[in-house]
Amino acid sequence: GENVEQHPSTLSVQEGDSAVIKCTYSDSASNYFPWYKQELGKGPQLIIDIRSNVGEKKDQRIAVTLNKTAKHFSLHITETQPEDSAVYFCARVERGDMRFGAGTRLTVKP
Amino acid sequence: DTEVTQTPKHLVMGMTNKKSLKCEQHMGHRAMYWYKQKAKKPPELMFVYSYEKLSINESVPSRFSPECPNSSLLNLHLHALQPEDSALYLCASSYQMTGVNTEAFFGQGTRLTVV
């Protein structure tokens, strides 16, 4: 399966600011795009996801947008808090094959 | 309940040892996955089981042998590993491998060190 490009690799924001992480993919058959948050010493935690028939999805401070034509999707975190600090992975899924981006280390400074 | 339980949490083994990693879920999920994660890298898919049958094997060396005894359990048998196999091994499950209900939930992982 094709990999996923994820940017930036590190992101530092001030508490209360917004954070945006972007991913691009090349496999047109991908139809499901989850985002995971991984804290040190823990497994990845599913925080939000989007399917190919939807352009945007929001859950409180977290939102994901998908542009299927351009093959990119983004994670938006508003009103960031120190506990949002973690590594975030985007992924694309096709027939059980989930491929992750390289990850973004987000640091929220109090 | 979205819990996937992995045991042990930590494992140190010699290159001649045989050990097993275990994964359990009681969410009624029919797809289960093994991933390997090296430090500061994303998880890499190793195996996928769907309805207790091996569906995907990402060309993993035979020293890693998966087993799915029933729909709730997934094992990874380890034999003659190399130091470069040291990593965090993650188990995940989802209701289905394909279709609508494919949200995957991960366990906390087993930190494996091969000496």
Secondary structure of chain B as H, E, C letters: CCCEEEECCEEEECCCCEEEEEEEECCCCCEEEEEEECCCCCCEEEEEEECCEEEEECCCCCCEEEEEEECCEEEEEEECCCHHHCEEEEEEEECCCCCCCCCCEECCCEEEEEC
pLDDT tens-place string over residues B34-90: 999 999 999 999 999 999 999 999 999 999 999 999 999 999 999 999 999 999 999
CA B104 to chain CA centroid, Å, is: 13
Which of B30, B34, B45, B90 to mutate to test binding with chain A, by most A CBs within 10 Å of its CB? Answer: B45
Quick one: closest CA in A to B99, which residue?
A95
Q: Is B16 exposed, middle or buried (0-12, 13-18, 19+ CB in 10 A)?
A: exposed
Give B82-102 as a 3 state SS string: CHHHCEEEEEEEECCCCCCCC
pLDDT of A1 over the 60 cut = no
pLDDT tens-place string over residues B1-23: 569 999 999 999 999 999 999 99
Shortest Cα distance from B86 to chain A (angstroms)?
15
Q: Tell if the CB–CB gap between B45 and A99 is shorter than 8 Å.
A: yes
Spatial contact of B23 and B32, defined as CB atoms under 8 Å apart = yes
Spatial contact of B108 and A43, defined as CB atoms under 8 Å apart = yes
Nearest to A43 among B41, B48, B109 (CB): B109
Which of A87, A98, A104 to mutate to test binding with chain B, by most B CBs within 10 Å of its CB? Answer: A98
A99 at B interface, C-beta within 8 A:
yes
Average pLDDT of the residues in A91-97: 88
pLDDT of residue B100: 74
pLDDT of residue A105: 98
pLDDT of residue A2: 60
pLDDT of residue A72: 94
pLDDT of residue B2: 67
In DSSP notation, A5-49 reads EEE-SEEEEETTS-EEEEEEE--TT--EEEEEEE-TTS--EEEEE
pLDDT tens-place string over residues A9-59: 999 999 999 999 999 999 888 889 999 999 999 999 999 999 988 899 999
Q: Tell if the CB–CB gap between A96 and B90 is shorter than 8 Å.
A: no
Which of A99, A100, A104 to mutate to test binding with chain B, by most B CBs within 10 Å of its CB? Answer: A100
Q: Which residues contact B44 (CB under 8 A, 6 or more apart)?
A: A100, B35, B36, B37, B58
Quick one: closest CA in A to B111, which residue?
A41
pLDDT of residue B1: 59
Nearest to B103 among A46, A99, A100 (CB): A46
pLDDT of residue A3: 78
A100 at B interface, C-beta within 8 A:
yes
